[in-house]
Chains A and B, each alone.
Chain A
Amino acid sequence: NNGAVGHDEL
Chain B
Amino acid sequence: MNIFRFLADLSHMASIVILILQIRKTKSAAGVSYKTQFLYALVFVTRYIDIFFHYVSLYNTFMKIFFVTSTIYILYLMRVQYKPSHDPNIDTFRIEYIIAPSAVLALIINHGYTLYEILWSFSVWLESGAILPQLFMLQRTGEAETLTVHYIFALGIYRLLYIPNWIYRYVTEGRVEPIAFLASLIQTALYSDFFYIYYTKVMQGKKFELP
Contacts and interface: CB of A to CB of B under 8 A. Distances in A.
A3 B111 contact: yes
A6 B117 CA distance: 11
B60 interface: yes
A10 B176 contact: no
B87 interface: no
Nearest to B181: A6
A10 B187 CA distance: 15
Given A10-B60, A10-B63, A10-B64, A4 B124 contact: no
Contacts of A10: 9, 12, 60, 63-64, 67
Nearest to A9: B5
Nearest to B179: A6
B112 interface: yes
Q: How large is the interface on B (under 10, 10 to 19, 20 to 34, 35 or more residues)?
A: 20 to 34
B64 A4 contact: no
Interface residues of A, number: 10
A4 to B, nearest CB: 4
Interface of B: 5, 9, 12, 50, 54, 56, 60, 63-64, 67, 111-112, 117, 120, 124, 162, 165, 169, 173, 175-180
Given A6-B180, A10-B12, A10-B60, 6 more contacts: A1-B117, A3-B178, A4-B117, A5-B173, A8-B56, A9-B5
23 contacts: A1-B112, A1-B117, A2-B175, A3-B177, A4-B117, A4-B177, A5-B169, A5-B173, A5-B176, A5-B177, A6-B124, A6-B179, A6-B180, A7-B50, A7-B54, A7-B120, A9-B165, A9-B180, A10-B9, A10-B60, A10-B63, A10-B64, A10-B67
